[in-house]
Amino acid sequence: MKELFDSVSNDCSKLVTKKYSTSFSLAVKMLSSKIRKDIYNIYGFVRFADEIVDTFHDFDKELLMKHFERDYYLAKEQGISLNPILNSFQQTVNRYKIPDQMVQAFLKSMKADLYKTEYQTKEEYDAYIYGSADVVGLMCLKVFVDGDSKKFEELKDAAMRLGSAFQKVNFLRDLKDDYEVLNRSYFPNIDLGKLDATSKQLIINEIEDDFEFAYKNGILKLPVEAKFGVYMAFRYYKRLLKKLSNVPSEKIMDTRIRISDPMKINLLARSYVKYKLNII
């Protein structure tokens, strides 16, 4: 009974989201019930790929990634996989006709993390962010617009900029682990070992520009099924950026910034009021 297996697979992707990211899971709960499942399915896929390159240090990560990619394409071709994360993701890809170039761009950036440790040019940096974050935003947008190609074209630039902003905030938040544990430096022409206030502010300004563009040109125009959930994620990351902005540049490598659970609830409540009052 394939329907039961598919349901179990979807539940696995939902569980992965809840276990790995309470903040993203909270935002997904604010989406319409009609689209939550598919956003969980996208997150489960990208989360597992990210875990391969970032945390499975005692295993052959290159081989794991190779098998993960191979098994995904087998799942897409056959319409089933006994890996429930891949089984649920291929359903979403096929249901919303997510182009393969998006999946390939994502996997390319993930595979780059297996060997590339430094991004020396803006072109390299932008290409990595496009694959690791922008296309994830585009995959989610495919779900949000549900086949409306005109709406997708209207919102795609904003979806990419929002994905970029989220990723850059993650880079700032995870500087210590990326630099000291994984030996990675994503920001071009910046010595993370000697990060100064000017360099940090340039990064923050870039992120704020991305957020402003995404809000005005995307979030405000999203279908009602998606608007509140995306706005909630936007508010969360904006608050995270504000906290990072308040940390002196010389201490940012030694400070783990997070949003407390009470603050998440506060953000949710205030965001909901704005949503119900049609302020967004």
Tokens 């953000």 locate to 267
Per-residue model confidence as pLDDT tens digits over 91-144: 999 999 999 999 999 999 999 999 998 998 999 999 999 999 999 999 999 999
Per-residue model confidence as pLDDT tens digits over 53-79: 999 999 999 999 999 999 999 999 999
pLDDT at 250: 79
Third-level CATH fold of 2-271: Farnesyl Diphosphate Synthase (1.10.600)
pLDDT at 277: 62
The 8 Å CB, 24+ separation contacts for 124-127 are: 124/188, 125/186, 125/187, 125/188
Print burial letters for 62-90: b (CB count within 10 Å at least 16), e (below 16).
Answer: eebbeebbebbeebbeeebbebbbbbbbb
pLDDT at 50: 97
pLDDT at 15: 98
Predicted TM-score (pTM) above 0.85: yes
Say which residues have a Cβ less than 8 Å from residue 14's Cβ, sequence separation at least 6: 36, 37, 40, 44
Question: Block means of pLDDT (10 residues each) for the chain, length 280 residues?
Answer: 94 97 92 97 98 96 98 97 98 97 98 93 96 98 97 98 96 86 86 83 96 97 95 94 90 77 75 70
pLDDT at 154: 98
DSSP letters of 92-143?
HHHHHT--HHHHHHHHHHHHHTTT--B--SHHHHHHHHIIIIIHHHHHHHHH
DSSP class of residue 43 equals H
The residue ranges of every structural domain in the chain are 2-271
In the chain, the N- to C-terminal Cα span, in Å, equals: 43
Cα dihedral: 111, 116, 121, 123 (round 10): -10
